[in-house]
């Protein structure tokens, strides 16, 4: 009897929040061969680089954690944002189909306009209101065009000890400032990057891979102000956090 082949899982964007979370939990899955890649190892905006990588590695799952996530900067860096968020996912999908690998792609709530007063469902109408959201939606479309047997996971308000995120920004500012104004009229579900990685590992370890678009966040609803207040409470900071409206905090996106 031939022993079962260990699964090989490619993680792109391994230096980001979710990518590094996979690195944290890899010891829990000794039967999995993880391939952690960043741009220096695998340039996902280069179709030839992708094809060579897949040719030399027998990949069972590709988890695309790579993204251009600087929402405001994307309004200026449109070419780079589009290459990483829109074009590259299509390249990966094409390679996965050609090499019989399953693709799991991380997307975002920014594909919607944010005007709903109830949680979005995967089949709700998309309507991005900034360029970042537009590029992420195009990435989804390019994936489904190339390989509709893929899993797309939309998440939101991701935080961790890694990279740039709201939690880390608040921790820094609360040590620097005596008072801060935080937006209190945008609602969402703060989501721990480690939980996203763990949920994806459940998909990889199951015998049933069900393609489609899914929404995944942690439980609970709050505002950025509510999130900041909880961070301040846990830090025991003397910084006073005040609620403001979105109109009082204009940003490019």
Contact 172, 233 (CB under 8 A): no
CB count in 10 Å sphere of residue 151: 20
Kindly state the helix (H) or strand (E) to which residue 7 belongs, with its residue range.
Answer: strand 7-12
Is 134 annotated as catalytic? no
Contact 237, 176 (CB under 8 A): no
d(CA 198, CA 60): 18
d(CA 205, CA 45): 28
d(CA 142, CA 138): 6
- Catalytic residue of the set 68, 110, 132, 162: 132
Contact 183, 228 (CB under 8 A): no
Order across the sheet with 32-36: list the strands.
Answer: 32-36, 7-12, 61-64, 102-108, 151-155, 212-215
Length of the chain: 253
Dmax over CA atoms of the chain, in Å, equals: 68
What token pair was written down for 109?
């709530």
Residue 132, phi-psi category: left (phi > 0), alpha (psi -120 to 50), beta (remainder): alpha
Active site residues: 132
């Amino acid at each position: 009897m031939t022993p079962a082949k260990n699964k090989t899982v490619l993680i792109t964007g391994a230096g980001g929040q979710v990518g590094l979370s996979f690195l944290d939990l890899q010891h829990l899955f000794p039967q999995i061969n993880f391939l952690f890649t960043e741009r220096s190892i695998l340039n996902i905006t280069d179709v030839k680089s992708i094809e060579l990588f897949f040719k030399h590695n027998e990949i069972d799952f590709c988890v695309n954690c790579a993204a251009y996530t600087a929402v405001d900067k994307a309004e200026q860096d449109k070419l780079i944002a589009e290459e990483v968020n829109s074009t590259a996912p299509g390249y990966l999908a094409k390679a996965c189909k050609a090499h019989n690998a399953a693709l799991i792609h991380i997307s975002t709530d920014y594909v919607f306009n944010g005007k709903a007063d109830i949680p979005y469902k995967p089949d709700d109408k998309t309507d991005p209101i900034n360029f970042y959201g537009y590029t992420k939606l195009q990435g989804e479309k390019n994936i489904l065009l190339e390989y509709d047997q893929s899993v797309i996971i939309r998440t939101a308000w991701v935080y961790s000890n890694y990279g740039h995120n709201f939690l880390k920004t608040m921790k820094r500012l609360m040590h620097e400032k005596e008072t801060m104004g935080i937006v209190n009229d945008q609602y969402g579900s703060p989501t721990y990057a480690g939980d996203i990685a763990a949920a994806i590992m459940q998909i990889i370890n199951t015998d049933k891979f069900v393609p489609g678009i899914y929404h995944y966040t942690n439980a609970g609803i709050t505002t950025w102000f509510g999130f900041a207040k909880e961070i301040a409470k846990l830090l025991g900071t003397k910084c006073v956090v005040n609620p403001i409206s979105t109109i009082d905090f204009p940003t490019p996106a």
